[in-house]
Amino acid sequence: MIATVTLNPAIDKSLTVPRFEVGKTNRGEVARTDASGKGINVAMALKQFGAEVCALGFMAGNDGQFILEALASNGIPADFVTVPGETRVNLKIRDPVLQTETELNEPGFHVQPKHLDALKGKITEYAAHCEVMTFSGSLPPGAPPDTYRELVRIAKARGSNCMLDSGGAALRLGIQAKPTLVKPNRAEVEELLERSLPARSDLAYAASKLLELGAGIALISLGAEGAVAASERELVAARPPAVAVRSSTGAGDAMVAAFAYGEITHLSFRESFRLAMAASAASVTLEGTEFADLAAINRLLPEVHVEDLSRG
């Protein structure tokens, strides 16, 4: 089984606004509401893969109940720590004319030490029988910056392989726990390493540096440019297949899901990387925060061409 951990879940409200203008009254054409938060997205993607998955983390209020109902309707067991307040709502504004996507994200509810202690208890319990645990997204207000480091250490001590997708101090401290995989984007790695990474050679250096800092696998997502990934023995890159983009929300989460799925199905590093690229490309062809099934992903696999950077 795979457990996903979401400390700061959200409801995504997506609005399609042709020729969106800042400071003006804009009228949307298409609106939709999705249960989200990066770990929730990973769980939804894994369910589409056919994997056995459960969702853990924090949840609050009526909006949190909406997320729990969405998980249940998708057949995903959930065991969240309930906290006071309300789960955040994030607004996504997609402009199909200008090909832009603007995000307005709320900070989230406030957690207390007792809530963190309760979550640590659940992590201890589930890690004993979950081969993989993913830790994704921002930390809610009240959570110390070393929260992921502590949770990953707890899960690893119980035998679980841990995958971390976060940024800022949460990534800087979390990587010290030596997770199986980290998946930052370019901006998050640039912040971590305190340097610009404009070229492919810079990204190759960054991926290798993440291994030095403690990651077993470094996966750097680059949006439309694809991704760079490094393991102890390989350093690779790939561009995504050419697809019609409807929503980029969740594309990186599909990549984490693919590597988690690869772990439980014993795929090689390169096979997991190809699956991640195809899964990410398939997800952006869908509206809102939706994820493709394995059949759709497998159709894109032949279009994923992996480049070996270790030789260049």
Residues annotated as catalytic (active site), given as ranges: 253
Rounded to 5 degrees, φ, ψ at 27 are -115, 120
What residues contact 233, with CB distance under 8 A and at least 6 apart? 269
In contact, 151 and 126? CB cutoff 8 Å: no
Cα dist from 198 to 148, 186, 189, 206, whole Å: 28, 9, 12, 11
CA distance 113 to 167: 22
Token duo for residue 142: 């009240």
- Distance from C-alpha of 124 to C-alpha of 68, rounded to nearest angstrom: 22
* DSSP state for residue 59 in the 8-state scheme: E
| Whole-number Å distance between alpha carbons of 275 and 285 | 16
d(CA 98, CA 104): 18
What lies within 8 Å, CB to CB, of 273 at 6+ separation is 219, 227, 229, 236, 238, 259, 306
Q: How far is CA 266 from CA 32, 47, 261, in A?
A: 36, 18, 8
Closest Cα partner for 39 from 54, 61, 60, 52? 54
Please give the Cα distance from 77 to 75 (Å, whole number): 6
